[in-house]
Structure 1
Amino acid sequence: MSGPADLALLASRVRTDERRIMAALERRGVNFSHVDTRTLHSCFGQRRWPVVLNREIGVVRARYAAWALEAEGSRVLNTASAIEVCGDKWRTSMSLQAAGLPTPRTAIAMTPEATLAALDELGYPAVLKPLVGSWGRLVTKLETREQADTVLEYQAALTGPQAHLGYLQALIDSGGRDIRVIVIGGVAIGASYRSSDDWRSNVARGARTGRCPLTPELAKLAAGAAEAVGAELAGVDVIEDGQGRQLVLEVNSGVEFSGFQQAHGDDIDVADLIAEYAMAAVSAC
């Protein structure tokens, strides 16, 4: 389209989800530009785009791009603040705890030695996670103190102070299944199961997806989690324990929805709902 764009879609890697969003924007006649975040630079000055849809996959680049564009006066979906909280698992846990939402028992330790002590208090089995990361990478199930001692000895040899912090959660026996709920503008639009033969049920690791009933309780829990971290567009991961209680695991600000879309087919068009929300944001500017 000619003329200055009303909306920018930031993405250094255009995946299936981004292609779906761009196609939805085109169908709706939105004047938008795709901006490869690797080429983006910002100097304080005139606002270039009223609204920015931030689909940058790299959390650091996504956060700093949001900060820069917010300083220019753009409305960024999601905000830098939301990206910062969602990009740090401990900060997410603190936000969920402050909002009174149910989560697995969680601890953080400042050193590998302190992590061992925290594990003694938290109990085994437990899960050790990196503070920053996705797709289940570097997530380790610790079933005994001997196993933990070996893993933490390796952790102590890593470079960088953040690598030495221990973020821990009690292992929830969920039968290899969790729930992904997508929230747009404070409204849960649907839910899907993610099931795996592995104890990690990430779609990126080959988990199977299926439809999950979106009960009023689940919708309220997911919307509350998105609100707690300040995310307008969110993928909320929920796990059920042996008693059927639903606990929030984490909230994703750069929500991936291919698995969800496979489960729901044409009944829920996530990309179109995101495009609709972005259009409303443009109209409000």
Structure 2
Amino acid sequence: MNELWILYSRLRTEEKLLKKAADKTGVRCNFVDLRGISWPEGLKVGENDVVLCRCVSQAHNLAIARLLESRGVRTVNHSSVIEACGDKVFTAGLLDMAGLRQPRYSVAFSPEEAVKTSESMGFPVVFKPPVGSWGRLLSKVNDVDSAETVVEHKSFMGPQHQTFFIQEYVEKDGYDVRALVLGGKPITAIKRKSRHWITNTARGGDVEGMEIDQTMADVLKKVHDVFNGDLLAVDLFHDDQGWSVNEVNGQAEFHGSVEGTEVDVAGMLVDHCISLMEGSL
């Protein structure tokens, strides 16, 4: 009998909801703290099982997904999705290739060029670490002096910070939109509102459900076509030209979406995994 595996490293709200949803279906579900096992002895996954990679660490999700896939196991999300969505430079390049609108950005490979390009883009700009989540280490830079300071600090923070991802600052009227796409279908969207320019729910942003109109749905479907993720969280901005894609997350936290819309995201994701096990997707 095929089994569902949920691999985690911290019991967040999402993992608890997924376990509860799996138990309701009667599917055999293995709930495993990845920190307590080693590969391959500690993880006896069947070839036709499905594994939800839900660790907090992107590096852990990517590593275990690649190992499982090397043995023919279906992971959610696939390692290629985790990799592409986990690197903002990679994400921006893929969005460009697909012709999807996004905030203007620049990638610099030296401190001097990072300062120069941020000035040429026009202040304010936002420095983002290529790898990171929860709104951490974002820097809104308003002038050259601030840019020089941020770049100098990054120069002492390790090799991953030596690629400088710089994005135009977008005035967004105090909110952005977090939409979830499951199996290519947009399922929920929320406004994330804050007085602070960073609106992530992890940073205390408030949430409010909103309708997915056709123009938003069209953008979300195109994003899915680019990344082909089972579950994607897509962060959007809106202005008089329409929707633009700010970020795409392949390790979606969805408690804010549940709070804002009461959509049973966990139940829908478990049903999606069961369909994968049954071969109906």
- Provide the rounded CA distance (Å) in 2 between the counterparts of 1:279 and 1:40: 26
Residue of 254, 258, 262 corresponding to 2:255: 258
The equivalent residue for 2:64 is 65
State the SS of the aligned residue for 2:225. Answer: helix
Any conservation in 1 of the 2:172–2:238 contact (CA below 8 Å)?
yes
Q: How many pairs were matched up?
A: 277
1:27 matches 2:31: no
Q: TM-score, normalised by structure 1?
A: 0.93
* CA displacement, residues 48-84 of structure 1 (integer Å, 9 cap, x when unaligned): 3521111111000000000000011100010011000
Matched, 1:84 2:83: yes
State the one-letter code of the partner of 1:25: A
Give 1:104-123 correspondences, 5 Å limit: 104-123=103-122
The one of 251, 275, 278 aligned to 2:270: 275
Q: Is the 8 A contact 2:51 2:76 kept in 1?
A: yes
Query: For 1:263 and 1:164, how far apart are their aligned partners in 2?
Result: 37
In structure 2, C-alpha distance between the alignment counterparts of 1:99 and 1:183, rounded to whole Å? 17
User: How much identity, in percent, do the aligned residues show?
Assistant: 33
1:128 is aligned to 2:127? yes
Q: Name 1:225's counterpart in structure 2.
A: 223
User: How big is the shift at 1:162?
Assistant: 1.9
* 1:116-265 equivalence runs, <5 A: 116-158=115-157, 160-241=158-239, 243=240, 245-265=242-262
Runs of 4+ displaced beyond 2 Å:
45-49
- After superposition, what is the alpha-carbon deviation per residue over 1:23-63, rounded to whole angstroms, capped at 9, x for unaligned? 111111111101212224127x9853521111111000000
Runs (5+) with no aligned partner, structure 2: none
Which AA in structure 1 matches 2:84? V
Tell me how far apart the structure 1 counterparts of residues 63 and 222 of structure 2 sit (CA, whole Å): 26
8 Å Cα contact 1:177-1:196 kept in structure 2: yes
How is 1:30-45 mapped onto 2 (pairs within 5 angstroms)?
30-38=27-35, 39-42=37-40
Contact 1:128 1:166 in 2 (8 A): yes
Structure 2 CA distance for aligned equivalents of residues 149 and 176 of structure 1: 27
The 8 Å contact of residues 81 and 230 in structure 1, kept in 2 or not, is answered as no
Cα distance between partner residues in 2 of 1:194 and 1:127: 19
Please, what is the CA RMSD of the aligned residues? Answer: 1.7
2:11 aligned with 1:11, yes or no?
no
